[in-house]
């Protein structure tokens, strides 16, 4: 099957989706900056944007799961990914950790576990779907951004402390850095979904011949 990048229509879709993600990011940054002084917890606005982006990822992975036979390992894998993203979106939107006992509120170690499991999940996803190069590169770039975001996020816990800015500003910077890698993953997932759909259409066309 020809590379998806050779199809001008798909290139347009990729470009449009990428521009849409960039616009969403800029709007989020503008809103957070606009209301930073007016709200003591202005990082909440960034968290809601992250929750929306992660929820979109959960929806994309759920759609990908439906492209595989029922009870197949591939569908179970994508179900698990979708469920995990849904839990993360709920955490961003409702601050579940903050509502729990304070002994469990510091999630630095959980973040480290997630960071360690992420490349395994990305590898399995790309291997299962025979991902195109564009999707693979987006996933790799997303993980690099995630590592940088983790360095910022872990700077307010037991591991080390970053005191360059106030705690509220650090929270905002953390959430904005998270949105960068989340959107990069979203772009990779959208490329992967288009690849799967086009592969299915090509298979169906060959079967009719």
Per-residue confidence band for 200, with pLDDT thresholds at 50, 70 and 90: confident
Which has more confidence, 101 or 60?
A: 60
Per-residue confidence band for 29, with pLDDT thresholds at 50, 70 and 90: confident
CA distance 134 to 126: 11
Which has more confidence, 17 or 42?
A: 17
Contact 192, 63 (CB under 8 A): no
Reported as a single tens digit per residue, the pLDDT across 55-95 is: 999 999 999 999 999 889 999 999 999 999 999 998 887 76
Please return the burial class of 171, using the count of CB atoms within 10 Å of its CB with bins 0-12, 13-18 and 19+: buried
Q: Given the structure tokens 């800029």, which residue do they identify? A: 26
Question: What total number of domains does the chain contain?
Answer: 1
Contact 126, 143 (CB under 8 A): no
Please tell me the predicted confidence (pLDDT) of residue 162.
61
Stated pTM of the model: 0.83
Exposure string over 44-75, b if 16+ CB within 10 A, otherwise e: bbbbebbbbbbbbbbebbbebbeebeeeeebb
The whole domain housing 106 covers 4-208
């Amino acid at each position: 099957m020809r590379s998806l990048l050779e199809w001008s229509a798909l290139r347009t879709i990729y470009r449009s989706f990428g521009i849409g993600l960039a616009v969403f990011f800029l709007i989020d940054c503008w809103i957070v900056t606009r209301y930073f002084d007016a709200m003591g917890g202005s990082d909440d606005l960034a968290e809601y944007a992250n929750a929306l982006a992660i929820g979109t990822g959960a929806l994309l992975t759920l759609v990908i799961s439906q492209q595989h036979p029922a009870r197949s390992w591939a569908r179970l894998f994508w179900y698990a990914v979708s469920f995990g993203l849904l839990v993360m979106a709920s955490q961003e939107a409702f601050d579940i950790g903050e509502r729990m006992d304070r002994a469990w509120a510091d999630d630095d170690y959980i973040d480290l576990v997630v960071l360690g499991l992420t490349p395994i999940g990305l590898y399995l996803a790309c291997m299962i779907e025979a991902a195109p190069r564009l999707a693979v590169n987006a996933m790799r770039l997303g993980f690099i951004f995630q590592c940088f975001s983790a360095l910022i996020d872990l700077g307010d816990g037991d591991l080390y402390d970053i005191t360059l800015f106030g705690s509220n500003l650090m929270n905002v910077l953390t959430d904005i850095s998270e949105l960068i890698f989340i959107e990069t993953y979203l772009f990779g997932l959208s490329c992967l979904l288009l690849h799967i759909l086009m592969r299915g259409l090509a298979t169906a066309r060959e079967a009719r011949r």
